[in-house]
Structures are given as structure tokens and as C-alpha cells.
Amino acid sequence: MFDPKEIRKDFPILEKKIHGRPLIYFDNTATTQKPRQVIEAIVDFYTKHYANVHRGLHTLSQEASQLYEEAHEVLAKFINAYSWEEIVFCNNTTDAINIIAYGWGLKHLREGDEIVITVMDHHSNMLPWRNVAKLTGAKIKYVDITDEGYLDYEDLEKKITEKTKVVAFPVMSNVLGTINDVKRIVKLAHSVGAIVVADGAQSVPHMPTDVRAMNVDFLAFSGHKMLGPTGTGVLWGRKDILEDMMPFKVGGDTIKDVTLDNVIWHDLPWRFEAGTPNIAGGVGLAEAAKYLMRLGMENVRAHEKELVAYTLKRFDELGDDVLLTGPRNPEHRGGVISFNVKDLHHHVVGQALDLFGIAVRTGMHCAHPLHYRLGLKGTVRASYYIYNTKEEIDIFIDALKEIIKMRPSLKKMKEGMTDLICTGT
């Protein structure tokens, strides 16, 4: 049975107090906390099995290699990949999309080709394509959103043409929480022969993911957003496309043989994992995936949907003092609530919430074009995960009520002191 109160016992950091209050961690879209099982798996690897992989015949190297390869198999199962060979370990979603953009894009894109992305994209799925477009002469086209925060599918149909070679989009927006219609996007893209790149950074940790059913060509996601260690991520790609791609980063472990005149690339996925990899990170990520599979990703999604529905209902009590962004239907959004308190700078609200022990994110969340489209300079973002509860949301709403009461004095805070540059998710 999925019980967030029991789940919380696996997370040591949730016992921490902030300003004398129990920590309420609502910054899960940026990164998630780690359960004991993941922490212990990493410690066990370093204390009992550590060695470099694929480079030695001695016992420790063989043990490390086996654990690292098994981690690929676990992640393949997690997203229902056709083969573990399609699972490329990388640093994060950003790294994965760069590997795709440069490895596939530089080989296949030509002047006049079109790359379709969206206004709601995170910078990680926007800037690599913009860079590659400059290098190849391809053209970037942006799909707009509706005023309700949905992807504008009519605009998408207009933007996709016979010249479209790539359609890249977020499965779920890290600001609006909008869950996009993957099958509809894929059908349109494939009808003109374009490849489809899905940014799964916000979706894979929070809902069931089946790459076979999605029918996308690439999927990228981060380990640290799904209970795993930082510096871990996955690039999944269809095997035939991966085999045709040019390795973006090359060097140790990417080759079978090198002469002064030629190179024979390694088998998948190793040709894309240059140098000594984050072995312990891979082991920890596999343990995180096992943890989530034990819970059941359908239960994770149901829990977050319930929290969002409850939050939206409670937000009605705040009236016009709080301005929400994104769809109002919990069926269409993930566990993300982005908002502003009327007449208060978003950073001021975030700092005030911290005094209540509540960790949220403030700023533009590495989605500057989206905020400009919304006419906002930033938002406050609360985001949920498996260990969050309705009781925490009650404390959150009560804290917002107190902040609204304190608004006259909070407005006097010098906003310039709180201006932060968006460098993260």
C-alpha cells in the first residue's frame, strides 16, 4: 500500500528542522531527496566493490562492471525499453539532450531544415537545438501555449511542415505542470518523417513511462529528480538511430580499436559513455528506480494528482491574493504549483516561506521565454513527491495566509537584494 507517512521514514533529511520548524520539502521539481536505500547502495559499492569498469580482469573490476551493467538493465525495465543497449548513462537531462542535438543534429541537419520546439521548454531542451541550428543553418520554430497553459496544438500543426526534421518538447512543463499529449505530438511529427525528442525530466520520476507506447525516438531524464544521485541521467534512443549517430564525446571506453588512420566505435551504449563513468551514481540510480518500481509508478502519479487537487481546492481560500499559472484540471498537470502573491516579489515570498520551514523554488526556473510569454518576471513554485502529505499542504496554505497578512511590511523589503540568476531547473 502506498503510504506517504511510511515512505517518509526512509528519508533521513525529513527529520531536519528549519528555523525551528519541521522541514517541508516542496522543491522536488528541482531535485528530490534520497532514501536510505539509495544512500546505502552507494556506500556499499564504495566500501565493498569499488574499481573501474571495463578495464580489468581482477575481481573488483569484474564486480563493479557487473553492477554497472545491471544498472542499465534496471533502467531499461523502468521505462520499458526494448533493450538495455538503448540506455546511455549521462550526467543529467541537459547532457542527454546535448548528446542528441550534436550527435544526431550535426550529422543530419542541413540549411533550411526546421527544428520545432515549444515556448514552454526548459532551457535544456531549447539551447542545444538553437546552438546546433546556428552550426547547421537549420531554422528554429516555437510552438505557443494557450492562455490556460496548454500547448497550442493548432499552432503545432501549423509549425510542423515537410521541412521539419526534429520535434522536441517537454512531456511535462516544469513551470506550468502541464502534461502534454505525447501521442498527438508524435503522430504529427512522424507524419512528415521528423524525429521526436521527449524531455522527460519532469515526467519520468512522477508517472509511468513506457517508451514503446510513447513511440518517441529519444527520451532524456535525470537521476537526481527521481531519488537518485546528482550527476546521473539517462538518454534513451531507438537502437537503429543510436547506431547511426555520431558519438558527441569520444575517448576512453568509446572504441573497440584505434589506429592512426581509423577508429572502430564500441557497441551500444558504451560508445556514448566516454571516459570513466559515474559508476557509483549508476548503482545509486538503479536502486532509486527499484525503489520507485516497488511503490508502483501508477501510485506515484495518483498520489501527486490527489495532492494537486487538494492544493487547488485550498488555494481557492486565498482568492485574488494568489495568482496561479497552468491548467486547473489535476488530470492535466503534474505535481507542480507555480504562483505569485499579489504585490509581493516572488523571492520575498520564497524567503518568507523558508521561515515557516517550507522549501520552495523562486525565479524563472530555467524557462525564461515561458515567463516572458506569461508576462511574469518569475514565480514561486511548490512541487510535490512521494513523501509529501496533505498535512504539509495545510501548513503551506496557513503560511501563505500569514504572508498575505504581513504583505504591507514585506513589500518594504528591498527586492534587489533577492534577485537571483536562474541557473537550475
According to the model, what pLDDT value does residue 425 have? 55
For this structure, is 366 an active site residue? Answer: yes
The Cα–Cα gap between 204 and 200 comes to 5
Nearest-5° angle of CA 17, CA 22, CA 26? 105
The Cα–Cα gap between 41 and 25 comes to 23
Q: Which CATH number fits domain 50-294: 3.40.640.10, 3.10.450.50, 3.40.50.12280, 3.30.70.870?
A: 3.40.640.10
Where the chain has pLDDT below 50, the residues are 417-423
Please give the class, per CATH, of domain 4-27+297-418: alpha beta
According to the model, what pLDDT value does residue 15 have? 98
Count of H-run helices and E-run strands, the chain: 16, 17
* Phi, psi dihedral angles at 178 (to 5 degrees): -60, 130
Q: How does pLDDT run across 83-142, given as a tens digit for each residue?
A: 999 999 999 999 999 999 999 999 999 999 999 999 999 999 999 999 999 999 999 999
Helix H or strand E encompassing 396: helix 390-405
Q: How does pLDDT run across 3-51, given as a tens digit for each residue?
A: 999 999 999 999 999 999 999 999 999 999 999 999 999 999 999 999 9
Which listed residue (336, 360, 366, 397) is catalytic?
366
Q: Report CA 353 to chain centroid distance, whole Å.
A: 24
According to the model, what pLDDT value does residue 417 have? 47
Domain extents in the chain: 4-27+297-418, 50-294
According to the model, what pLDDT value does residue 248 have? 87
